[in-house]
Amino acid sequence: MKRVKKGIYCLEIGEWFGTMKNKNSVEPILQLLHDSPLTVPFIHRDIATDVEFRYYVRKWTQRGQKDYPILYLAFHGYPGHICLAKENGHYLDFPTDDLFALLHGKCHRRVIHFGACSVLNMHGLKVNKYLRDSCAVAISGYENDVDWVKASVFEMLYLAELQGNQFTRPGINAVRNRITKIASSLLKEVVFRIKVGQ
C-alpha cells in the first residue's frame, strides 16, 4: 500500500538570537527531509509579529493545506507560551490558549509540534483540553529548555518517523514507541512529550 506523504507546515521565528547576521533556521532540516528518500513536502514561513502568526495559523487550517497535516512551530518559548516579536523588536508572549482558540475544531487528523523550549511544561489536563478542543490527533513538544543542535537532530528523526504511520491514536503511539527505542537517551535529555487524543 502506498503511503501518503504528510507535509510539514512550519512557522519559524524570523530571528532566533536577535540579530540579522545569525543564520540559525530549521529550514535545512525540512529541506533534508524533502531531499531524502521520504521526499516530505513542506511549507516554511518566517514569522515575526502576532499578526503574521495568526494569519499563517489560519491559513494552515484551510482545506488548501490538507496535505500538510503537521504544524511545526519553531520558536523560543516557556511554559504555555511561544515568543513572537513586537514592532520595537522586544519579545511578545503568545499564550498557547490563544493559539488553540484559533485552532478550535479545525485539526482533525493533524499533529501540532512545538519546537520550542519548555512550552509543554504544563498540566496534562490542559494539554488534553487542547486536544479535545482542536480535534488534533497529537500535540508534542518539550518540557524543558533544549540545546539547539540536539533538538534539531531529534526533530528531524521525529518528523521522519511521523511519515510511517496513519494519524490515528494507534499510529501515533507506534511513532512514540519507535522514537523511544531509537533515541531513548536523547529523549531524556530534551524531555520530549507527546500527548495523543482520544
Tens place of pLDDT per residue across the chain (198 aa): 456 799 999 999 876 666 556 667 899 999 999 999 999 999 999 998 889 999 999 999 999 999 999 999 999 999 999 988 777 767 789 999 999 999 999 999 999 999 999 999 999 999 999 999 999 999 999 999 999 889 999 999 999 999 989 999 999 999 999 999 999 888 888 889 999 987
Domains and CATH numbers, the chain: 8-196 (3.40.50.1460)
Residues 6+ apart with CB under 8 A from 50: 84, 92, 94
Q: What's the predicted TM-score (pTM) here?
A: 0.94
Q: How far apart are CA 26 and CA 84, in angstroms?
A: 16
Name the 3-class secondary structure at 164. Answer: helix
* Exposed/middle/buried for residue 112 (C-beta within 10 Å: 0-12, 13-18, 19+): buried
Q: Which amino acid is at 55?
A: Y
Model pLDDT, residue 19:
58
**pLDDT of the residue at 4:** 78
Query: For position 101, what pLDDT does the model report?
Result: 97
Alpha helices in the chain (DSSP H): 27-35, 50-60, 96-102, 124-134, 148-161, 169-182, 184-190
* Helix/strand/coil percent split, the chain, to 5: 40, 25, 35
Residue holding cell 515575526? 48
Cβ contact 100:156 at 8 Å: no
Q: Which residues 6+ apart lie within 8 Å of 52 measured at CB?
A: 45
Q: What is the pLDDT of residue 108?
A: 94
Residue 122 CA to residue 175 CA, distance in Å, equals 22
- pLDDT at position 1 is 44
